[in-house]
C-alpha cells in the first residue's frame, strides 16, 4: 500500500469509528438523554402503568379496568397484593391493607350515601371488627338492626357478635 492509501484507509476508519460511536451512543442512551434535555411531557395517557423491580417482578400497578374501576395495587417482592386503593365507577372509594400472605387486614370503604365503614379481618378471612354503620341480624328474633355510623361491633371467629357499642 502506498502512503496515500494508508492515510485514506486510516481516515475512513477514523470517520467510521466516530460515526459508529455516535450512532451507538444515540441508540443506547439517546432517548434518555433526549428526554432529560427536552421539556418534560405534561400529560401521559395510558390504560395501565406497571412498576417493576430491577428483577422484573411486578411491584405496583395503576389501572382502569373494563368495569370502570380505577385501582392502585401495591405488591410485595413475591407478587402478593398488600395494599389496594380503588375507586369504582360510582365514585365510592375503598382502601384495603392485607397481611403478609395477602389474607386478613383492614378495609376502609365509603358507601354511595357517604357513610364510611372500617372492616378488620383475621388471617382466616373472618370479619372480626366493624366500625361504622351496618345492619346486624338479631339471632333471637331474626330481625335486622341498623347500627349508627359511630358504632363498633366485635365478632368471634364464627361471625357472632361478642360486643357492640352504642
Per-residue model confidence (pLDDT) at position 101: 82
User: Could you say which of 1.10.3720.10, 3.50.50.60, 3.40.50.300, 3.90.930.1 is the CATH number of the domain covering 48-165?
Assistant: 3.90.930.1
Q: What are phi and psi of 136, to 5 degrees?
A: -115, 140
Q: Which grid cell is 57?
A: 417482578
pTM for the model: 0.67
Order of strands across the sheet that contains 81-87: 48-52, 58-64, 70-75, 81-87, 94-98, 105-110, 116-121, 127-132, 152-155, 161-165
Q: Which residues of the chain have pLDDT under 70?
A: 1-38
Per-residue model confidence (pLDDT) at position 22: 41
What three-state secondary structure class fits 36? helix
Per-residue model confidence (pLDDT) at position 36: 57
Per-residue model confidence (pLDDT) at position 75: 94
What is the DSSP code string of 81-138? Answer: EEEEEEE-TT---EEEEE-TTS-SEEEEEE-TTS-EEEEEE-TTS-EEEEEE--EEE-
Give the domain ranges of the chain: 1-42, 48-165
Per-residue model confidence (pLDDT) at position 107: 95
Per-residue model confidence (pLDDT) at position 3: 47
Per-residue model confidence (pLDDT) at position 148: 85
Amino acid at each position: 500500500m502506498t502512503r496515500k492509501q494508508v492515510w485514506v484507509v486510516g481516515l475512513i476508519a477514523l470517520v467510521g469509528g466516530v460515526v459508529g460511536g455516535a450512532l451507538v451512543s444515540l441508540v443506547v442512551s439517546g432517548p434518555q438523554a433526549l428526554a432529560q434535555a427536552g421539556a418534560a411531557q405534561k400529560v401521559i395517557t395510558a390504560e395501565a402503568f406497571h412498576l417493576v423491580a430491577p428483577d422484573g417482578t411486578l411491584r405496583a400497578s395503576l389501572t382502569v379496568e373494563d368495569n370502570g374501576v380505577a385501582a392502585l395495587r401495591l405488591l410485595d417482592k413475591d407478587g402478593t397484593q398488600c395494599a389496594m386503593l380503588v375507586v369504582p365507577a360510582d365514585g365510592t372509594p375503598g382502601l384495603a391493607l392485607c397481611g403478609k400472605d395477602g389474607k386478613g387486614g383492614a378495609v376502609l370503604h365509603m358507601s354511595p350515601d357517604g357513610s364510611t365503614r372500617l372492616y378488620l379481618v383475621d388471617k382466616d378471612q373472618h370479619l372480626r371488627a366493624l366500625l361504622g354503620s351496618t345492619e346486624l341480624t338479631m339471632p333471637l328474633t331474626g330481625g335486622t338492626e341498623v347500627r349508627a355510623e359511630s358504632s363498633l361491633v366485635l365478632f368471634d371467629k364464627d361471625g357472632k357478635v361478642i360486643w357492640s357499642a352504642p
